[in-house]
Amino acid sequence: MRKLYVLLIVAALAAPVFAQTRLPEYKIAAGNWVLTADRLYQNAAAERLSKVTVRVPQKGKMVYEFNVRYEGGAEDGQGGFGVHLFADSATDVRSWGAGKSYLLWLNYDEKPVGKEIPKGFSAQIYKSVSNSKMELVQSIDLNKYAYLLTPQVLASTIPVKLWVDGDTGEVRVYDPTTSGYYYYVKLGREFPKSGEWIALRTNGLKLSVGLPR
C-alpha cells in the first residue's frame, strides 16, 4: 500500500531545480495556485473550473492524506472542492473533466442547477470520461452535517484521508471528527486499475491545502 502526501508532490512545483532533482510533471488548467510556506493556495474565488494536475503513478491500494482550509469565496451560496484520482491524462486547458478518472467532490450550493444535486451541503462521485465529459455516479445529501459549517469550523484546518483500492474500486473516506471511522463506497469493476495523475480542483471558492498534522 502506498501512502501519498498530496502537498509533498505539489510542493515540488515551486522547489529549486537541481541537476539531481527530477520534479513531477504538472499542469495548471485554471485558477491561481500559489505555494506559500507549507500551504498551497487557490486564490481565484470566481473560477468555477480551477484545477492543478500532477503526474503521480497510482496502482493497487493507495492512501491519500492532506488537509484543507476554506479561505473565502462562498459568500454567494456556492462552492466546491474535490480531487480526481487514477487519471490517465492531463491538460493545461480549462476543462470540466480530467481524462479518464474518478472525481470525489464536496459541494455546497443553495441553488443547484440539476435535481440530482441536493440543495445545500452534499457530496458527489463523478466518472470522468474525458476532459469535456463527466458522468454522475452517486450524489449524497449531507445536510444533516450542515450544522458543522460554522465560521469557527470553516476557519479550521480539516484533515482529509482517502483509501482507494484500484483493483476493486473500493473507497474509504475517513471521518475527520472520529478516529478510525470511515464512509465506504464501491465504484465497481470499471474503476481504473492504475493511473498516472491526480488533480486538485475548486469551484467558486478560495482554498488552501497542506500536509497532514
Question: What type of residue sits at position 18?
Answer: F
pLDDT, tens only, 40-71: 899 999 999 999 998 888 999 999 988 999 99
Spatial contact of 11 and 23, defined as CB atoms under 8 Å apart: no
Please, which residues have CB within 8 angstroms of residue 150's CB and are 6 or more apart in sequence?
none
> With bands split at pLDDT 50, 70 and 90, how would you rate the model's confidence at 7?
low
Question: What type of residue sits at position 181?
Answer: Y
172: phi then psi, degrees, rounded to nearest 5: -120, 120
Beta strands in 113-169 (DSSP E): 120-128, 134-141, 158-165
Maximum Cα interatomic distance, the chain, rounded to a whole number of Å: 53
What is the rounded (10 degree) CA torsion for 39, 184, 121, 62? 20
Q: 0.85 exceeded by the pTM?
A: yes
Element of type H or E holding 58? strand 50-59
Query: In this structure, what C-alpha cell is assigned to residue 163?
Result: 483509501
Mean pLDDT score of the chain, rounded to an integer?
A: 88
pLDDT, tens only, 125-136: 999 999 999 999
Distances (CA, A) of 5 to 53, 63, 72, 95, 111: 15, 8, 24, 25, 34
Domains in the chain: ranges and CATH: 2-210 (2.60.120.560)
Q: What is the per-residue pLDDT for 148?
A: 86
Please, which residues have CB within 8 angstroms of residue 72's CB and are 6 or more apart in sequence?
45, 205, 206
Q: What is the per-residue pLDDT for 19?
A: 36
